[in-house]
Structure 1
Amino acid sequence: MLKEDNFLESSRSNKDRERRKMQGHNRAAMPKRIILMRHGESQGNLDDSAYTTTPDYKIPLTQQGIAQAQLAGDRLRQVVSDTDSPNWQVYFYVSPYERTRSTLREIGRSFSKNRIIGVREECRVREQDFGNFQVEERMKVIKQTRERFGRFFYRFPEGESAADVYDRVSSFLESLWRDIDMQRLHQDPSNDLNLIILSHGLTSRVFLMKWFKWTVEQFELLNNFGNCEFRVMELGQGGEYSLAIHHTEEELTEWGLSPEMIADQKWRACAKRGDWNEKCPWYLDGFFDHFAHSDENVDNDDDDCQIPN
């Protein structure tokens, strides 16, 4: 019996050491920043009728969109090359749509080749599918119906709902973490890795929703990204990502985050990984706000209860 106990204890110790080793490895390999960026102004942003004659994935950038992308490249470089990170690298994921690919080409002018360790076209971060060619008059009615039905769950005829986009973004995130864990990005652990995901407005908001475990109601509070706007998720001291490290509270408010969501972002900036469940009263209150806070309160309530005859 003693030998068996010693064996079990040794086995647990080995597992604990292996787990600590893996956690240390993952922490070192984790990107310093994950940056979500929307494409530059497209012909479809300028004129809705473009969608009636040109497939959505072929819609090009305008000249203004090209200029926006060039400026955005300079801004991105400033973000990832801060004074604390002399050794930094970037890895790009890009939607296969023409407007995102063209935006990436312009952004790339701001980076030397030795800083870019990879570019991957990723179909799962493409735009929400609105249903082949879009008839302008029909789309007006459809979008009015979406507002009444709910923006997240409404599925466009022959297209997708935001919930459908959520499913494929969830799949992408699983693949992303496998790539990081298995060193498929070929990053140097001694360098700061910056993942830049060049996508679309709704897809980027859904990404944030999935990452931060926001509810459907919280998602629907969010404002869309402007053309070539980006959101910086930066790795905090305890291993959690937060929008509140790079961005101000005023920016978060402007983007539609509620006070509770902003408080959570501030907490994440210093929180340890795995502690989230201990710090989510705002989430629990969404379901259990009318319940007592402790068993003692429940007992007191029972004392006051009058059982009918």
Structure 2
Amino acid sequence: MIQSPQYKALPKRIILVRHGESEGNLDRSAYTTTPDYKIPLTQQGIAQAKLAGAQIQSVISENGRSNNWKIYFYVSPYERTRSTLREIGRSFSKKRVIGVREECRVREQDFGNFQVEERMKVIKETRERFGRFFYRFPEGESAADVYDRVSNFLESLWRDIDMNRLHNDPSDDLNLIIISHGLTSRVFLMKWFKWSVEQFELLNNFGNCECRVMQLGLGGEYSLAIHHTEDELQEWGLSPDMIADQKWRANATRGDWNERCPWYLDAFFDCLATDSDDSVEEDTDDSLEEDIDDLIV
């Protein structure tokens, strides 16, 4: 796919990566003695991250067919994400990496401090009944809280791109790689693609070191459907409407989304007044004005 010159300054891809398997993924009791941000990767997690680096390199280089590309990393400050970054970085030479930034706003959802295993089990069962997006962990965060800080991060990201703070040469394809956490990455996608809370609740978590590749289409919209298959999108929990939207974005002209607003409004309204109803209302208003004029005369 040849990128249109007018969108050359935009990143060709934004790749979201969940960290590799951590000691906490393997044994939930690890959180009872170790702060969440210090939980390390397992040996399996390190191997996953190395493999992910090779896979991402293959995606970005288009299996070696493309040579004019660069990458910029954003990474959560947690030990497991920093370690994942180090292992992924083994697949890239220094000349390919424009830079890396530790970004606290893409950190893990805050579950509180030291986590008592049995108490957390009950709390997470309660969250499933209450709803994953709005339920706030005691002394911690809800997914809605994560949404707010991810939204703030996205504003900064766009300023960095617009002002070329990433120091990208427009002749190179820029690829942003965000190494973060499962829920944070899902919230990122929710914010980016304007998914509703109900749509967010459908989503399945990323596997360890799984990636979601948002690729820039010819018209300037990003889509998951350029790199990923429909079966993958279904597996991740996207509804048929969400998948249709991703397919549309793959070829849509940037800014056309507003013109498709009626398609999107169907998710919120059972029935809106038709244009003819508006005309009747306007006629009624005109008649009322005429009646008032007659009374004044």
* Residue of structure 2 in register with 1:245 after alignment: 226
The number of residue pairs the alignment matches comes to 276
| 1:75 counterpart (32, 55, 76) | 55
Aligned partners of 2:18 and 2:261: how far apart in 1?
A: 30
Report the Cα offset of residue 25 of structure 1: 9.0
In the alignment, structure 1 residue 66 sits paired with structure 2 residue 46: yes
**Partners in 2 of 1:281 and 1:100 — Cα distance?**
40
Do structure 1's residue 113 and structure 2's residue 94 form an aligned pair? Answer: yes
**Contact residue 8 and residue 173 of structure 2 kept, 8 A:** no
TM-score (norm 2): 0.90
Task: Tell me the residue number matched to 2:7.
Answer: 27
Measured in 2, the distance between the counterparts of 1:112 and 1:132 equals 38
In the TM superposition, residue 197 of structure 1 has moved relative to its aligned partner by 0.2
Matches of 1:97 and 1:278 in 2, distance apart? 41
Pairwise CA RMSD: 1.7
| Aligned residue number for residue 55 of structure 1 | 35
Q: Distance in 1 between matches of 2:121 and 2:94?
A: 45
Residue number in structure 2 paired with 1:17: none
Given candidates 203, 213, 236, the residue that maps to 1:222 is 203
Post-superposition shift, 1:273? 1.1
Q: Secondary structure in 2 aligned to 1:64? A: helix
SS in 1 for 2:202: coil
Please show how residues 95-174 of structure 1 align to structure 2 within 5 Å. Answer: 95-174=76-155
Query: In the alignment, which residue of structure 2 is the partner of 1:37?
Result: 17
Aligned equivalents of 1:287 and 1:201: distance in 2?
Answer: 28
Give distance in 2, aligned partners of 1:297 and 1:175.
41
Cα distance in structure 2, aligned partners of 1:128 and 1:25:
38
2:75, 2:179 within 8 Å by CA — same for their partners in 1? yes
d(CA) in 2 for partners of 1:160, 1:104: 25
Q: Could you tell me which amino acid in structure 2 is paired with residue 142 of structure 1? A: I
Shift of 1:294: 4.3
Unaligned runs of 5+ in 1: 1-23, 300-309
1:147 deviates by 1.1
Residue in 1 aligned with 2:177? 196
Question: Partners in 2 of 1:85 and 1:293 — Cα distance?
Answer: 50
Supply the AA of the counterpart residue of 1:75: Q
Q: CA deviation at 1:146?
A: 0.8
What is the rounded CA distance, in whole Å, between the counterparts of 1:285 and 1:41 in structure 2? 40
In the superposition, the TM-score normalised over structure 1's length comes to 0.86
Equivalent in the alignment of 1:207: 188
User: Could you say what secondary structure the match of 2:99 adopts?
Assistant: strand
